[in-house]
Every structure is written in C-alpha cells, then in structure tokens.
Structure 1
Amino acid sequence: MNRKALSALLVLLLSVSPAWAQQEPLPDQPYVLKTTATIHILDIVVTDKKGKVYTNLKQDDFTIYEDAVEQRIRSFEPPSKHTMPEGSGLVVKSSADLPKIGAAPVTILVLDDLNTSFENMAYARNRIQKYLEAQPAVMKQPTTLLAATNTKFVVVKDFTQDRAELLTALHKYFPEYPWKQMKSGGGGSGAFERMGESLNSLYSMAEAFRGTPGRKTVLWVGKGFPAVDLLNLDTSSTILLQAGIKRITNALLDSRITLYTIDPSSQLGTIGVIGTSDDLQDYETRNDGQPFSDEINFSTLAPATGGKAFFSRNDIDAEVAEGTEAGSNYYTISYTPSNPPKPGEEYRQIRIKMRDPSLTAVTRDGYYPPDPHVDATGAPIPRTPKEQRDELEAEMGKAAMSTLAYNGLLLSLAPADGGKVKLGVASGGLKWTDEPSGKTRAEITVLQVAFSSKDKALAHSSQELSAEVMGRIQNPDQKAYFLIPVQMPPGTTRLRVVVRDAVNGKIGTVELLTGGK
C-alpha cells in the first residue's frame, strides 16, 4: 500500500486526536479505556422459507452455539418486549426523549454522499421520500436522518416519530457534490481516506447511541468505501487495517447496531459479493473461519452484524422497509460463553439452530475476542499512560466535534453564577467503586468546547472530576452535580460538553445555546 494512503487511513481509523486537543493535554495518569463484557446479547430475526417473520416462538425453540459449543441461555425476550409504550402516540421528538421508550428499537437512516455518485443519491433520496410518505403520521419507530459528506458526518434530522418533520428535513437537505469519490474512484489515498471516514462514521454511531438499550437498525444508503484487497498489501499494512476493522466491528456489536447496506447503483457484477449471513458463513468456511481474511468490503459489515446487503435493485423504498421491519420484530437472547476465548484466538463464530428446521434465525455472525494492541509485526505493544491519554483525547475530541448527541451518559446543563455551569450526570450510567471509608466513588473526564455560529471551535478546556456518596446509589436516575467554570469568548453561540466515565468508557454530550452573547 502507498504509505501516504495508509497514513491518511490510519489517522482517521485509529483515532488520532484533533489538532486542538494536543494544545492542552489531560492529566498525566493512566485511564481504563474499555471494558469487556462476558455476557453476549443476540438480537435475532426468525423467518420461514418465504421470508415471513415469526414472532411467537419460545426459548426452547433456540439453541445457541459459539465455536461449535452449545451455550446455556441466560435470558430470553420475545418481540413483544421490544415495543413502544402502549397508546403513547408521539413520544420521541428528539434524542432527549429516547429514555422514554425503554428497549424499543430505533431506526437510523444514513445518506452516503461521500462514496456515491450525485445521480445515484438523487434517486435514493427520491425513494427514501417515497418510503417516508408511506408511513403513518406518527412513525412506529423513532427515526433519525444522518449524512456522510466530503467533510463531516452530520445530523440532518434528530430522532423523531414525526413523519412530516423527517420529510421536511429531507427536502431541505442539499447534498454536497461527491468530489472525493469523483477524484479518487476506487484507489489511491483518497479512496483510503473515504474508507477511514466511513468507518469512523460507523464508530461514532456506536459510541453515540450506546445509551439506547434496544436494537439500532442502521440503513446505510450508498455504495460505502471501495473494497481493499489485503492479498496485495504488505504484512504491516494488513495487520493495521485488520486491527481497525476488528475495533469497528466489535463497537457496532457492543452497541447492538445491525447494519443494512443499500447500494442504489445498478451493479451487474455482484456475483461472489457477501450480502447475507449464508454468504458470510460460506466465505468463512473457505477462509479459516475469518470474515475479513483477504478483503475488507463495506457490505460484509452488514451480515457480520446480523443485517443484509442489498444490491442491484431499484426499489430502495422496499429495501428500507424490509430492514426496518426486521428491526421491529426480533428476539433477544443472552449467554455467557462456557468456552471462553483462548489467548491469540482471532474470531469466535456464533450460530443458532432452530428446533423447527424450516425456520431461519439471523443474528450477529460472531465477535473478535479482546486483543492487545500490536505493532506491524503482530507483537503486543505495552499500553503506556501517554498512549492511553492520546486515545482518550481522540475519543472525546471526536465526540466534541460531532453533531451527534451521545447518550452513553445522560446529562443536563444549566447556567450558574460566577461564570460557571451546573452539570448533572445520571448516576445509573456511572461506574461507582467502593472506598475504604464506606463511600462509593465515580470519576469522570469533562471536555468543554465553545463554538461560533459557523461551528468553529473558539475555546476548550478539560478537567478530571469525581463524586462520592455514602453507601450505594439506589436510584439510577439520581444525578451527581458538578459546578464547572466555562470559557465562552465573544461570538460563542453554543457550548458543547463531553463527559466520559473513567472506568466504563461511556460518553455523554450536552449543549447549552448562548445566542452569541
């Protein structure tokens, strides 16, 4: 791989900090960046041979296998447990309302203007409009509309059930001409840059919507990044790219995101393309059980997460409807592996056997076991405090510069006296640790950025804070409050605050509009 192209990709894919974040380093102490859950959650869609969805099955109808070993089911939820509050009408008007829906699913529509020709996206938007017009005035699922552009990943319309508001936002959205796609085509540094930006958009969604407990159906309308043939790369480039794709894949699965990719172009050469779970399993059988052994293809992420890749069809509205319907009728099963991964294992396959062989169950294909960071030779690299700080700054910097509302932590923000703001953090999202004094303690990192009306960062600051309470928190909605000083230079129109739990890595964001005063 061209070194310039690889560098462009890794800057985006492996979390290099924004330039302004380097100006004010966070305190010199180690951080815990990730936690590894031992309980695996599967969202499962069951259909018959004609594609009809089955919603009345019992736990005994399912048998779970991980790497060919049968697993004991810990919990089982039928589709009836994943519904909106009964008789509630219009519940969700913005991201702030998502806690009201419990474990009900949400839909995320993404317009891929970064990787798709202007003509194909114009047609795609027309079909998305047709899909929305066919929905009830109050949509069954909260839906958000996002766009991947040449320069950023933007929110076109926040989560809402109001069909009219989504249609209005779609009509007002004026897409950028895809000059990066036109310039780079399928190769060169521009193509790898688009790959990094696309994967970073997926990672941002995984982190931002982590606090929404139900299934999240992402309908990515566009071509996605060009495929990368790993067999033509040197060993170090292959290792680094695979490390990036592993991180993205696990982030999507941890956030319970199921991806459906919808290519609006008329492709004739789709023979051999991995579009369904059966396609992916056949591929893994031929490639030592690995989903990305010789090629990294955007569409492969769909069946890997339990979704589907659509190709060479012009009924995009029907494809969106199919993905949304699957996201509405799913079972949730959890288990703890009875055969934990061994050091060095690359990938763990998950398979489901139905008691009725005429039924097909579709879920995530598997997962990558936790793996230490490796260098270009595959050798582990010790995680120094500085490396951990750099990664922490990168994660929080991305959240600060994003327009997505991160809900891993639920926050509130209000003006206070003395040039300060009152920050509230719901205790249920924090990791509380026991202290010898009998108190429990939570630690957070807070990053605040002041923006102008043109979204230029005018000032920023960060600090480490902690809260202590006697005994254990009984009410997860109870908030821990912090008074923090703010920097708002003249011209500031909004203050964005990013909070990250120092132990479990959950991130939340909240904004305060200042009106330029």
Structure 2
Amino acid sequence: MSIRTFTLGLFFAAFTLQSLAQQAVETSAAGGRTTILNVVVSSQTREPVPGLTPSDFRLLDNKLQRPIISVKQVEAKQEPMSALIVIDAVNIGYTRVAFVRNQVTKFLRSNEGHLAQPTSIVILTDKGAQVQRGLSTDGNALDVGLGEAEIGLREIRRSSGIWGADERFGMSLTALKQLIAYGGTLPGRKLVLWISPGWPLLTGPRIDLSNRQQQQVFDDVVALKRDMRRSNVTLYSVNPLGPEEDLARAGYYQSFLKGINSSSQADIADLSLQVLSVQSGGLVLNSSDVTGNSSQCLADGRSWYELRFETSEAEHPNEYHSIEVQTDKPGIVARTWTGYYAQP
C-alpha cells in the first residue's frame, strides 16, 4: 500500500490562525478572558489519574491563585486528537537516521500495527518537511509509506560550522511553524513528537545578539506560543542520540525554561526544541530507546483534563504570565503550559 506525501509549503508558513483563537481563548461577558488548559495528570508510574474534581486542583497565575471555572476529564475516544511523528534528518547524522527509522518502524508495528491515535509521519530534510498525506491508525500501512520515503544525504552537515548551524536552525524553525499551522487545520488536540537532538542553539559567550535580533527572537517566542495554543499543539522532544550525546549539551536548555518578559531577556536558546516542548506541557526525553519514548509521549493522549480559568486583562502587550497547576493528591504530577502572553 503506497501512502502519498506532500511538502508543507510557504502557504502554511504564512497561514493565519485568527479563526482558531476560540480553541484556546474565549472572551467572557465580564470583560476578562477565559483560558482553557490541557492538563495531563499522572501517577509516579506514569498512569493517568482519573476522577479528579475542581477542588482537587489549584491554579497559580504569576504565583497568585486564580479561581477555576470548570474541570473536565477527557478520554481519547471522546474528542478528536492526532499525533505527528517528525524524523529530523536535518539535525540527525545520516547513519543515525537509519537507526531512528528502524525504531519508528518498531513503534508503528507494535500491537500488531494498531495505533491508539490517528498518526502521520513527517520527514524533515534539506528540501523541507515531507508529510504523509492523511492520518491513520494503521501502523503497518504507515510503515510501508515510511519505507518508501527517500531520505538522501543532507547537504547541510552538523560539522559545517556556524553558517551551517544557522541554516539548520532556520530550516528547523520554519518547519515547526509550518507544522503548527498544519495542526491548526486538524480537529482536536495534536501531539507533535520531534525525534531529534534539537536544532543548533546558536548561543554562548562568543555569540552576541543585537537589540533588533533580540526583538525578533522575542516576537518569535510570543508568536510560537500563541499559535501552538490556538492550534492545540503539544510538542515533545525525543533525543535519539542517547549516551552518544554530551550531557552538558543535552541539559543546557534547562537554563532557559523560565519564560521571558521582554526582548532584553531574549536568547536564541529560548526558541530551542527542548524549551518549547517543556513550556507547551510536553516532555524532553534523552534516550536511544526511540520506540519506548514515543510510546511514553503518546500516552499523554489517553486521558487528560481541560481546565478553564479566567485571566484579567494585561497592562501592556505581550505581558508574560507564568502558570502552575497543582493538585492536593500525594504522588501525582500535573503537567500543562508553563506560561502565556496576555494582551490588553
């Protein structure tokens, strides 16, 4: 069975998401804004925790407790959701891509090829993001399509220096924006698994950003978070290098997890795959067990809570608000967006 593919073109890069705003933010009659969060609640054994009520949650907005309007438990069969698995051949070495391909095959063909969510495979190369047309729960058919896909030697290599790194960063960020826009055309919640060590961070003591560049980074951060929420996308970073990855490099992103309030705080690392994943409520997993990590990420789609709360108007455009959702039940963890940018 042949599964056709298509390339995400410039249409999606310029795709307007204004019509999708109601998926994440609704204006209330009182003049405030009602915001909906997808909250994954799991036990220490990573099992979903059912049966929680609004009284079991506490929401902090900029460290101040806000009233929760409603809490709704959602099962995967109740609402549409889908998964996009990205094989990043731009930022993974060619020999490692073959390994990742085999790991994805194992995932697709597990459980006799029956996937829990409608899934599509995306392959990112120097030519752009190639998406298998249509979503399917038939993992065997998706694997046939993956086997037919051609992933040639990339022209931009990880050893190409700062200029090659800059080009890989640009291609990766463009592909992410396109996938977010594409996700906005799909119904319900979307889980995007990006199998990659991440794109180059382009940061450090020898790299200084001008004020204009910092403003561009800040604008990109604001737009990405806005569009991901509107498209109902959660991002996951699955690093397939495992023990081969330098531990200092693999954990460097943790210095940038706190949201930024202005362009003066902006760094290119604020746009890294790992940072955006954590801040969207997803996971960052560093292991060569791509098959197992993919299953762990997509387990977030089995059950979650939709938490609705009202925010006050911001004092100025792009005012950053940190978010923390807590529960009073011992031994369980609630994971969701870590912040958002409020508007007047």
> What is the TM-score of this pair, normalised by structure 2?
0.82
Kindly indicate whether residue 68 of structure 2 is the aligned counterpart of residue 73 of structure 1.
yes
Residues 205 and 162 (structure 1), Cα distance of their counterparts in 2 relative to 1, 3 Å cut: same
Please show how residues 161-240 of structure 1 align to structure 2 within 5 Å.
161-182=137-158, 184-185=160-161, 187-188=162-163, 190-229=164-203, 232-240=208-216
Distance 2:101 2:130 in 1: 16
Q: What is the 5 A alignment of 1:239-250? A: 239-250=215-226
Paired residue secondary structure (1:78): strand
The answer as to whether partners of 1:220 and 1:259 remain within 8 angstroms in 2 is yes
Is 2:264 the partner of 1:269? no
Distance 1:357 1:316, change over 3 A: same
Which residue is equivalent to 1:40?
35
| Cα shift readout 1:325-353 (whole Å, capped 9, x = no counterpart) | 1122211112221x322205542111111
Counterpart position of 1:106: 82
Identity across aligned pairs (percent)? 21
User: In structure 1, what is the equivalent of residue 3 of structure 2?
Assistant: none
Is the CA contact 2:115–2:137 (under 8 Å) kept in the aligned structure 1?
A: yes
* 3-state SS of paired residue (1:306): coil
Matched, 1:309 2:284: yes
Q: Given that residues 17 and 230 in structure 2 are in contact (C-alpha distance below 8 angstroms), is that contact kept between their aligned partners in structure 1? A: no
Native 8 Å contact 1:150 1:176 kept in 2: no
Query: Which position in structure 1 is the counterpart of 2:77?
Result: 83
1:100-499 → structure 2 map (5 Å cutoff): 103-182=79-158, 184-185=160-161, 187-188=162-163, 190-229=164-203, 232-265=208-241, 266-270=244-248, 273=251, 283-284=257-258, 293-294=266-267, 295-296=269-270, 297-311=272-286, 313-337=287-311, 339-344=312-317, 346-370=319-343
With over 3 angstroms needed to count, the CA separation of the structure-2 counterparts of 1:301 and 1:204, relative to structure 1, is same
Q: Is the 8 A contact 1:304 1:364 kept in 2?
A: yes
Residue 284 of structure 1: SS of its match in structure 2? Answer: coil
**Counterpart Cα distance in 1 of 2:41 and 2:306:** 11
How far is the alpha carbon of 1:32 from its aligned partner?
11
TM-aligned CA distance change 1:48 to 1:109, over 3 Å: same
Q: Which has the higher helix share?
A: 2
Give the SS at the match of 2:199.
coil
CA distance in 2, matches of 1:45, 1:143: 20
Counterpart in 2 of 1:391? none
Q: 1:303 to 1:343 in 2, by over 3 A?
A: same
Other-structure match for 2:29:
none
Aligned to 1:56: 51
> 1:42 touches 1:334 (CA, 8 Å); kept in 2?
yes
Q: Which residue of 1 aligns with 2:30?
A: none
Q: Deviations over 1:387-413 (max 9, x none)?
A: xxxxxxxxxxxxxxxxxxxxxxxxxxx
Q: Using the TM superposition, give the Cα deviation of residue 198 of structure 1 relative to its aligned residue in structure 2, in angstroms.
A: 1.5
Count of equivalent residues: 317
Separation in 2, partners of 1:302, 1:216: 13
Aligned 8 A contact 2:313 2:343 in 1 = no
Shift of 1:245: 2.6
Question: In structure 1, what residue type is equivalent to 2:178?
Answer: S
CA RMSD after TM alignment: 3.0
- SS of the aligned residue for 2:258 comes to helix
Give the conservation status (yes or no) of the 8 Å contact 1:135–1:163.
no
Counterpart Cα distance in 1 of 2:145 and 2:52: 39
Aligned residue in 2 for 1:453: none
Structure 1 240/293 Cα, relative in aligned 2: closer, same or farther at 3 Å? closer
TM-score (norm 1): 0.56
Distance, in Å, in 1 between the alignment partners of 2:305 and 2:72 is 6
> Hey, what's the Cα distance between the residues in 2 that align with 1:213 and 1:70?
32
Question: What residue ranges of structure 1 are gaps of 5+ in the alignment?
Answer: 1-11, 18-30, 85-102, 372-517
The 3 A distance-change label for structure 1 pair 135 and 201 is farther
| Distance 1:303-1:289 versus aligned 2 partners, 3 A rule | farther
Aligned CA distance change for structure 1 residues 122 and 262 (closer, same or farther; 3 Å): same
| C-alpha displacement of 1:122 | 1.0
Note the C-alpha offset of 1:274: 6.1
In structure 1, what is the Cα distance between the partners aligned to 2:50 and 2:305? 8
- Decide whether aligned partners of structure 1 residues 288 and 246 sit closer, same or farther in structure 2, where only a CA change above 3 A counts: closer
Q: What stretches of structure 2 of length at least 5 have no aligned partner?
A: 1-9, 26-32
User: SS state of the match for residue 180, structure 1?
Assistant: coil
Deviations 1:49-103 (A, max 9, x none): 34333123222211222112222323322133x316xxxxxxxxxxxxxxxxxx2
- CA shift, 1:182, in A, is 4.2
**In structure 2, do the counterparts of structure 1 residues 323 and 60 end up closer, same or farther at CA, with 3 Å as the change threshold?**
same
Alpha-carbon contact 2:319-2:343 (below 8 Å) kept:
no
Q: Deviations over 1:248-269 (max 9, x none)?
A: 2221122111111111122132
| Deviation string, structure 1 residues 14-49 (Cα, Å, up to 9, x no partner) | x689xxxxxxxxxxxxx9968683332211111223
Does the Cα contact within 8 Å between 2:261 and 2:320 map onto a contact in 1? no
**Structure 1 residue matching 2:334: 3-state secondary structure:** strand
